[in-house]
């Protein structure tokens, strides 16, 4: 069906699949993933109904229940796409949702321009020889109008968080929680530790900021986010964010598309755009957000008495432990960064390379940036002006692009 979508023959292939006995439910999941949660049950469960299913045991968001037939049912409103249930399903009946077919249909047969938004963790995911410029060429060869590095918007939100830190942290006991970039971390705070929400800045994620910016500058455009995470598929469907990101693909899905389309990005010409600073590029690994915000606070307010004292955790158990320390007053930190995956985004479930190797490449790419922080980056400042922000301090004001009301 991927090949049919590349060829523009999707409807014909769908009818053929149905005539040959294809499962209508599975076909609908593939063709209309927006209707379903980020995790699909593709076959009947084999777990004994009188016992708690392993997937249910390990879902901290209570998103899984059993129906009258003993099959697990996943609540589209509660599932955040952490993928823990997929890992725990011994019978392999659960799978991550896929946006390949509708995304390709938009790219190949749609009349609107479609932009690929690539997550900061992309560096060397598609082989070390695949530079950002060659990857951009690959997306254009598929039919995308262009590729945008989400790291640029991590830059902008770093600026916003640095400004908010300066505004909110006035006493030694004050503290701020980040990171807006990880939907699992934000979901944990909203759904389990909601008493901490007043300490979470009202910011969208870099993914949402990127999509909204594209649609502000190009109102008819469609947006496709590409990263290592299926939790982003859940984030894109949240009621207050729905419509900003049209489709979410994982690195694995994109690799499948390249394979079907016989595109080898390593052999394509460079199409370079050097827009992001080191701060935005290192968001992809654990500790990157803290480092970025700390450097930017120091750059903006070199004489500030209360500096960033960061504590970070990666992986759900570590995040829960850090929050427990915070609630029990057992930490002196004032800036808390949580990442749902061990290692940060480079450790996402749909990454193509080992997280340690991914972290090394992200650090190298960050070190190659022309500018260390977003306040030093003229492209970021110019982009903000194009969006109506005449000063960086204007980021503290409520906006339709960067603000989120939790």
Nearest of 308, 363, 317, 374 to residue 336 by alpha carbon: 308
User: Which pLDDT belongs to residue 336?
Assistant: 97
Query: CB count, 10 Å around CB of 71?
Result: 17
Per-residue pLDDT tens over the stretch 266-280: 999 999 877 899 999
Nearest of 140, 175, 172, 178 to residue 160 by alpha carbon: 178
Place of tokens 């530790």: 193
Give me the DSSP letters along 245-264.
S-EEEEHHHHHHHHHHHT--
Nearest of 205, 185, 281 to residue 248 by alpha carbon: 205
Place of tokens 């800036």: 335
Considering the entire predicted model, what is its pTM? 0.94
Q: How far apart are CA 234 and CA 226, in angstroms?
A: 14
Mean pLDDT by 10 residues, the chain (406 residues): 78 80 84 92 76 83 87 91 90 91 90 96 93 96 97 97 96 90 94 94 96 97 97 95 97 96 96 90 95 97 96 95 96 96 96 96 96 96 97 95 92
Fold entry, domain 22-96: Alpha-Beta Plaits (3.30.70)
Residue 38 near residue 98, CB atoms below 8 Å: no
User: Which pLDDT belongs to residue 50?
Assistant: 57
User: Which pLDDT belongs to residue 66?
Assistant: 86
Domain boundaries, the chain: 22-96, 98-406
User: Which pLDDT belongs to residue 223?
Assistant: 98
Per-residue pLDDT tens over the stretch 132-183: 999 999 999 999 999 999 999 999 999 999 999 999 999 999 999 986 889 9
User: Which pLDDT belongs to residue 51?
Assistant: 61
Q: Which residues contact 268 (CB under 8 A, 6 or more apart)?
A: 134, 137, 138, 141
3-state secondary structure 267-284: HCCCCCCCCCCHHHHHHH
User: Which pLDDT belongs to residue 179?
Assistant: 65
Give me the DSSP letters along 141-183.
HHT-SEEEETHHHHHHHHHHHHHHHHHH--STT--EEE-TT-H
Per-residue pLDDT tens over the stretch 44-76: 887 766 566 888 888 999 999 988 888 889 999
């Amino acid at each position: 069906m991927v090949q049919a979508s590349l060829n523009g023959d999707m409807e014909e292939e769908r009818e053929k699949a149905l005539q040959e006995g294809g499962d209508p439910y599975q076909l609908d999941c593939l063709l209309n993933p927006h209707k379903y949660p980020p995790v699909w049950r593709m076959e009947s469960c084999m777990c004994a109904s009188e016992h708690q299913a392993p997937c249910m045991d390990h879902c901290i968001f209570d998103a899984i229940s059993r129906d009258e037939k003993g099959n697990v049912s996943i609540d589209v409103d509660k599932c955040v796409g952490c993928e823990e249930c997929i890992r725990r399903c011994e019978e392999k009946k659960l799978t991550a949702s896929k946006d390949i077919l509708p995304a390709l249909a938009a790219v190949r047969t749609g009349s609107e321009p479609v932009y690929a938004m690539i997550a900061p963790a992309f560096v060397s995911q598609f082989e070390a020889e695949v530079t950002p410029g060659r990857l951009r060429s690959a997306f254009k060869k598929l039919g995308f109008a262009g590729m945008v590095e989400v790291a640029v918007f991590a830059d902008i939100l770093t600026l916003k968080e640095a400004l908010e830190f300066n505004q909110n942290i006035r006493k030694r006991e004050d503290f701020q929680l980040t990171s807006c970039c990880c939907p699992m971390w934000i979901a944990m705070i909203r759904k389990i530790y909601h008493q901490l929400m007043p300490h979470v800045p009202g910011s969208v994620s870099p993914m949402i900021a990127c999509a909204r910016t594209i649609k502000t500058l190009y109102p008819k455009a469609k947006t496709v986010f590409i990263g290592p995470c299926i939790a982003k598929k859940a984030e894109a469907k949240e009621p207050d964010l729905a419509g900003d990101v049209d489709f979410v693909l994982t690195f694995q899905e994109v690799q499948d598309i390249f394979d079907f389309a016989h595109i080898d990005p390593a052999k394509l010409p460079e199409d370079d755009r050097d827009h992001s600073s080191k701060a935005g590029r290192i968001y992809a690994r654990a500790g990157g957000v803290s480092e970025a915000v700390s450097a930017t606070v120091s750059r903006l307010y070199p004489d500030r008495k209360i500096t960033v004292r960061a504590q970070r955790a990666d992986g759900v158990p570590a995040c829960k432990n850090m929050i427990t320390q915070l609630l029990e007053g057992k930490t002196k930190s004032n800036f808390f960064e949580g990442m749902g995956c061990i290692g940060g985004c480079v450790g996402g479930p749909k990454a193509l390379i080992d997280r340690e190797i991914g972290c090394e490449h992200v650090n190298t790419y960050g070190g190659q940036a022309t500018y260390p922080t977003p306040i030093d980056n003229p492209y970021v400042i110019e982009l903000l002006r194009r969006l109506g922000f005449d000063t960086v301090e204007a980021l503290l004001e409520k906006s339709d692009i960067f603000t989120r009301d939790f």
